[in-house]
Structure 1
């Protein structure tokens, strides 16, 4: 696909509208409209309302009906979330088949607040799920996640991450891989991209980007007894600080999501070339995937000259 063609993009996420729990989506939206073409942004479903983001952070207002843009508004977008349409996969499907039927060239799910690398995160990721669902609708799809390392993430990392994410997306569009079992014209079904939010984003020459496989890891305890009956979970990604629960209530079976992720977030034994290894090394990872929660065996993935020490490097 030519980089000069204006691409129509549907952007979805599961962290909500611009704000503390979704700090990245508006910044990437701006880069996509500049670099790729027209971006349809679907954030929260509020039963078909329109959303009008404003500079500089993307906060705006909703409207029951389409209306002309007002001063300071940058686009007319759609908000689709809340029951029963509460997953990004549902939002993407509605966008593809109802709101923008036949118009979308690419679905981008994210940027997620927190990484979605390794099997432990990928198999429960709403971000990857939306991309996978869209690939089943015969649409090219990319899941994009920003891994949190420093709490809070320095604001100066945001723009470099958006620029890198946009470059990776453009590269994948221009060089979409082939997979003999692909469900769309023998192509790779989808890509999973992870960018760690670290100081290497600021270095001259940018962050290294690697082709990766999925680290086939696992996890143990995800919940602890909780003394309060009110539900309490983190709406952010796996890197978010979920806090420490109180003591168990002896009379009730009440539990709070409080996973022990130390071995997953700080891996010491992830295989070289896996997405977990790449994040630990301070590299961005790009994993070709099939819509079966598995990596694709891509034909002509990387020229032999790009292979150094067994690591397949993606040169943008």
Structure 2
């Protein structure tokens, strides 16, 4: 594969370039222009944050073509593939599906057997910690592709301050593309990985801070995922405006508690059975230092550092009483077979 251009699928959960999807076009330009990679973009046609690795299996997935232009990726949508017009940079694919759906269709229907790496992101907002990662459409797409035995990387840009100056975008893209290239060239080993004993996927979190402008480099840490939890995610729906941005609680328009200013509030009645996503996220977005284990992704982000977390495409399991060494059938009958009467 080193003798040819790397073949990449780029997807996300924020959809085509917009106010709530400000990063994908910039990273695309760095991957294609600076790294020289062959990048196919297949993304949801609309915002799909917080959808995890879902597939909407009763839906018919329809697609259209998108033609981004400089400087911000805004472009024209077409129902049919066509030649590029003057000023258009590439032809992308929009699918009326989830990020995981985009990943699977890209790998198996649009470009079967042609892809070396899938990159999902950059997400608008962090995907550090279990609570965010298990909900993330960005990580969900990377999980989907890793289950198809394709190397996969999820990239997220953590919103620390608002608004985020446009001047921070380019150094973030440059840093992220450099990390992605390093991971590709030095992919980790995992004897329980599902593809050639390799790490299944990586999750990168880049904090959007002024320190991106230098002069010193931002430290990059190998991390583990912070195991945390969340509480109430919904309130009674009693307001006309949405309580949470479509981009999620870490969006550019949300406040430090993860909700849109002037919305939310639990002053309705549950008997109406009408609820709106309006999570209490202050403790997840702004945890105290003593809540964060040293070496976790949340710890790195709180300190203004980049986190790179190797992951397995699997649910975590607690340590087994018999260890991790595979057992024979006889050993299983002796040690793992239930001998209790229910």
Same fold (TM over 0.5): yes
Partner of 1:270: 292
Counterpart of 1:196 in structure 2 is 207
TM-score by length of 2: 0.80
SS of residue paired to 1:43:
strand
CA distance in 1, matches of 2:64, 2:266: 43
Larger radius of gyration: 2
Let me know the Cα RMSD of the aligned residues.
1.9
Q: What is the rounded CA distance, in whole Å, between the counterparts of 1:256 and 1:177 in structure 2?
A: 41
What corresponds to 1:41 in structure 2?
Answer: 41
Task: Write the distance in 2 (CA, Å) between the matches of 1:229 and 1:49.
Answer: 31
Which residue of structure 2 aligns with residue 11 of structure 1? 10
Q: Return the alpha-carbon distance in structure 2 between the equivalents of residues 233 and 103 of structure 1.
A: 38
Instruction: Please say if residues 229 and 254 of structure 1, whose CA atoms lie closer than 8 Å, have aligned partners that are also in contact.
Output: no
Q: 1:276 to 1:122 in 2, by over 3 A?
A: same
Q: Secondary structure at the match of 1:50?
A: strand
Aligned to 1:152: 163
Indicate the residue corresponding to 2:302 in structure 1: 280
Match for residue 232 of structure 2? 221
Q: Distance in 2 between matches of 1:159 and 1:122?
A: 25
- State the 1:230 CA deviation: 7.9
1:210 aligns with 2:203: no
Q: Per-residue deviation at 1:64?
A: 2.4
Question: Could you tell me how far apart the structure 1 residues matched to 2:136 and 2:90 are?
Answer: 28
Q: Output the CA distance in 2 between the equivalents of 1:266 and 1:70.
A: 45
Distance in 1, matches of 2:136 and 2:115, equals: 23
- 1:265-298 residue CA offsets vs partner (Å, 9 max, x unmatched): 1222200000000000100100000001459xxx
Q: Provide Cα deviations, 1:21-49, integer angstroms capped at 9, x if missing partner.
A: 00001000100112141111112348232
Length, aligned pairs only: 290
2:247 to 230, 236, 254: 236
1:70 aligns to 2:85 (yes or no): yes
Q: Distance in 1 between matches of 2:228 and 2:122?
A: 23
Structure 1: distance between partners of 2:125 and 2:172: 13
